[in-house]
Structure 1
Amino acid sequence: MRAIIEYFSTHGAEYLQMVGEHLGVSALTLVIAAVIAVPLGVLCARSPLIDRISVGIATVLRIIPSLAILIFLVPILGTGVLPAVVALCILAVPPILINTALAFSTLPAEVLEAAVGMGMSPARVFFKVKVPLAFPAAFAGIRTAAVEVIASATLASYIGAGGLGEIIFTGMGLMRTDLLCIGGASVAILSLAVGQLLSVVDRRMRRYERA
């Protein structure tokens, strides 16, 4: 315990910088993955062919370890933030894509028919009816991806992208339990905190259900 207190007293600024790097890489990854996966998920709900191809590829990508992807990308993209973000995007896209496709493909037909019967245009049906109904399941995919990305972003430091992984890898190299505890606990707390924050966002966005 004393070693942990000493670490924070002497490396506090460095620790905060690593937390910022970790969150920065994770946030950038999540934004890019959402921009790719959400529109593709909507297309999957409209086209069975695109759904089979996209979801099939996403399912395969989910079983590939992030470290293996990093090792493959380093000779192509070098080291730093870029290969880390690409590898983490490959991890984040599948849950967002699969949940979004499922959310938009399982909308209640009677509700959509009622909206059309009321004279709503296709654009209004999409934004006023489909999006609110699909939001819970689609956002669950984003929340899952966020937690997975933050947990896996420790590997980013392995290729020079910074983050809390530096503490973990340093602890492994020096056989220092205090550094391993600090790094592991920090990543776990960040994952739980972000997951809880997104749960709050989800509840606030769905206040209409309790109205």
Structure 2
Amino acid sequence: MKRNSLLLLWLFIFWSVLIWSAIDPKDYPTWFLEVFPALIGFVVLAATYRRFSLTPLVYLLILIHAIILMVGGHYTYAEVPLGEWMKEWFGLARNDYDKIGHFAQGFVPFMIAREIVIRNKVFKSRGWMHFFLLCFVMALSAFYELIEWWVALLSKEAAAAFLGTQGYVWDTQSDMFFALIGGLCAWVLLTKLHDRQLREL
């Protein structure tokens, strides 16, 4: 499929899911907070598309991550049906859809950052590069937890739905752990495919 066709398909899926998520969500303040990173990402991608186009793999991962955010925004993370099904299937104590989001928060930024540092020749050693990338996703995850804390302080009404802790006292720590696992999985599973697509740019 040609690059222009892929771009049109990407845009169609992104905006279709975004519009769906904005129609009668659980509540609009939470919806906005959850989808805001996807909107910011879209603006950045649009602004950099011509001078720094990414690999198809990374664009696909960004789209998947955006969809995860939009679905979470529509239902709130604590009430996404997929999480309820997982809760029933695996005998979980809570709706763990948010852990999918935090896994993606490690998986996808790892690949985005990997592409940027490789193409800009930031590191000579692949070992140090991947160590840096894991540190990066952990720092990003920790920063997001700080944002959640600040939102909780500023907006008590939207805080519970946005945080989605569901009474789990280790929610913050487990969120960061899932981001780390996401980064490790991206490293192990997609390095060869990503390298091949980078060579084709």
The answer, yes or no, to whether TM exceeds 0.5 is: no
The structure with the larger Rg is 1
What TM-score does the superposition give when structure 2 sets the normalisation length? 0.38
